[in-house]
Amino acid sequence: MNTLQSPSSTLHSLLGSDDITRVQLPNGIIILARPNFNSPSVVLNGYLTTGSLFDPDDKLGLADFTASALMRGTAQRDFQQIYQALESVGASLGLGGSTHSTTFGGKALAEDLDLLLGILAECVRLPVFPIDQVERLRAQLLTNLAIRAQDTGDMASLTFDQIVYEGHPYSRPEDGFPETVQAIQREDLAEFHRTHYGPRGMVIAVVGAVDPLQAVEKVTRILGDWENSDQPEPPALPPIPILDGLVTRRVIIPGKSQADIVLGTAGPVRNSPDFLPALLGNSVLGQFGMMGRIGDAVREKAGLAYYASSNLSGGVGPGPWYASAGVDPTHVDKAVELIQSEITRFITEPVSLEELSDSQAQFIGRMPLALESNAGVAGALLNLERYALGLDYYRRYPDLVRAVTPEDILEVARRYLHPDHLGIAIAGSI
């Protein structure tokens, strides 16, 4: 079957410093561009460096509310005009707040890139927060919070963050609580935008059927003169508190068939040397094949859950390293026990060479697939920038992956995972 492959470009061998266009404008905006003429479409993804870290406790959700309100009207277009321009050509654009950043994602036919860029620039620079739109949006956000309160997965996750990150900004949900969203005034949105939105640290990836130099020129023309001297530095993160043993919290949501479990602790930051060994180890623990060892124990052998896996978030700060599962309420204790015993095994003995080489082969082999779509490439470019990985990171990646040993994984696992110091959150009719 070797003859089956015919010559073609190998995408992953191309994604490097000689094929990524990276330009930093004098105002701080970083533009990343990479062409793909296989489809007549283009994506425009990126982020600004403001987020819910800046939210006051009594107005939690402010950064997210602000981001969601940007497209509700600008100095040049009202809500319907913005969406008429986008939707009439099949384009889309969305903005949302997260903890460290405000992200945006757009796509269009390549012929409509100017339109997409123009609307993005208008929304981040000149939003007017019309009062009727703000109130309409508030009702939508409050409804989302009411739905969240009924979602066993969301509530287990939110409660888990409150346990593991007590006293730390990561304990706070980015979408806030009903009372904090109620407390946010239109003026708060305008003020948050005025002081926190600016070009410094903004990153824009343009990937698709557009020449990279043209992409840079277009972004420069529309955002190159943006300035905001008030943009604050992000606040420093406090240390993560050490959990005092096993801390379990249950959220009772009546009338639910299934209970959700989230169990774990804080993991390494994305640009720590611990991250890659932890990520490979996590693959063995709860990802590889049918959700790794945890999937094997909880789903395949015990038949307790449709999903049972583990995840490592990484990120700018120490995001969580956690396992999650959805089970019948009568099986919660059994599932928690099985997951705990897999974590204990994971920090007691090294993963086998076979397990590790399986995951290593997968990490390397899946790269062409991960970089198949414009959005996949844009995501990869943004990761390079956000975590300062270097433009040749994906070229070095296979060697970095292959260099990880079972002992590296054991060492990292022991540093972060302590079976007797875990946060355990359970939500459902329990």
Q: What separation in angstroms does the CA of 107 have from each of 94, 113, 198, 334?
A: 10, 8, 22, 45
131 touches another protein by CB under 8 A: no
Q: Which residues lie closer than 8 Å to 86 by C-beta, 6 or more apart?
A: 92, 93, 108, 115, 116, 119
The least CB distance from residue 8 to another protein, in Å, is 4
Sheet holding 203-208, edge to edge: 21-24, 30-35, 203-208, 41-48, 102-109, 92-97
The least CB distance from residue 282 to another protein, in Å, is 14
Name the residue nearer to another protein (CB basis): 154 or 174. Answer: 154
Sheet holding 305-312, edge to edge: 247-252, 423-428, 259-266, 320-327, 305-312
The least CB distance from residue 201 to another protein, in Å, is 27
The least CB distance from residue 285 to another protein, in Å, is 14
Residue from 177, 307, 393, 397 binding another protein (CB under 8 A): 307
374 touches another protein by CB under 8 A: yes
Residue from 118, 289, 350, 419 binding another protein (CB under 8 A): 289
Name the residue nearer to another protein (CB basis): 320 or 326. Answer: 326
Name the residue nearer to another protein (CB basis): 24 or 80. Answer: 80
Residue from 364, 383, 393, 402 binding another protein (CB under 8 A): 364
- Helix, strand, or coil (residue 33): strand
Residue from 143, 185, 330, 352 binding another protein (CB under 8 A): 143
The least CB distance from residue 176 to another protein, in Å, is 17
Return the amino acid letter for 213: L
Name the residue nearer to another protein (CB basis): 53 or 155. Answer: 155
128 touches another protein by CB under 8 A: no
Q: Crossing angle of helices 332-348/275-286, nearest 10°?
A: 130
Task: Supply the Cα-derived Rg of the chain in whole angstroms.
Answer: 23
* 401-426 as b/e: b if 16+ CB within 10 A: beebebebbbebbeebbbbeebbbbb
- The C-alpha atoms of residue 128 and residue 112 are separated, in whole angstroms, by 24
Interacting span for another protein (CB under 8 A) from 221-229, 267-275, 365-373, 407-415: 365-373
44 touches another protein by CB under 8 A: no
Element (H, E) at 54: none
Residues 258-287 contacting another protein, CB under 8 A: 258
235 touches another protein by CB under 8 A: no
16 touches another protein by CB under 8 A: no
Q: Note whether 30 and 46 are within 8 A (CB).
A: no
Residue from 168, 200, 249, 256 binding another protein (CB under 8 A): 256
Residue 392 burial class via C-beta count within 10 angstroms: exposed 0-12, middle 13-18, buried 19 and up: middle
Reading the block at residue 208, the tokens are: 């698709």
Half-sphere exposure of 401 (CA within 13 A, CB side): 21
353 touches another protein by CB under 8 A: no
- The C-alpha atoms of residue 31 and residue 385 are separated, in whole angstroms, by 10
The least CB distance from residue 415 to another protein, in Å, is 26
**Count of residues touching another protein (by CB under 8 A):** 78
The least CB distance from residue 75 to another protein, in Å, is 19
Q: Which residues lie closer than 8 Å to 224 by C-beta, 6 or more apart?
A: 25, 26, 27, 29
- The C-alpha atoms of residue 238 and residue 165 are separated, in whole angstroms, by 10
The least CB distance from residue 338 to another protein, in Å, is 13
243 touches another protein by CB under 8 A: no
Residue from 147, 213, 242, 403 binding another protein (CB under 8 A): 147
The least CB distance from residue 267 to another protein, in Å, is 22
Q: Note whether 170 and 317 are within 8 A (CB).
A: yes
The least CB distance from residue 26 to another protein, in Å, is 33
Residue from 367, 412, 425, 426 binding another protein (CB under 8 A): 367
Name the residue nearer to another protein (CB basis): 235 or 254. Answer: 254
Site string for another protein, 78-117 (x = CB under 8 A): -xx--xx-xxxxxxx-x------------xxx--------
139 touches another protein by CB under 8 A: yes
399 touches another protein by CB under 8 A: no
Residues 321-340 contacting another protein, CB under 8 A: 326-328
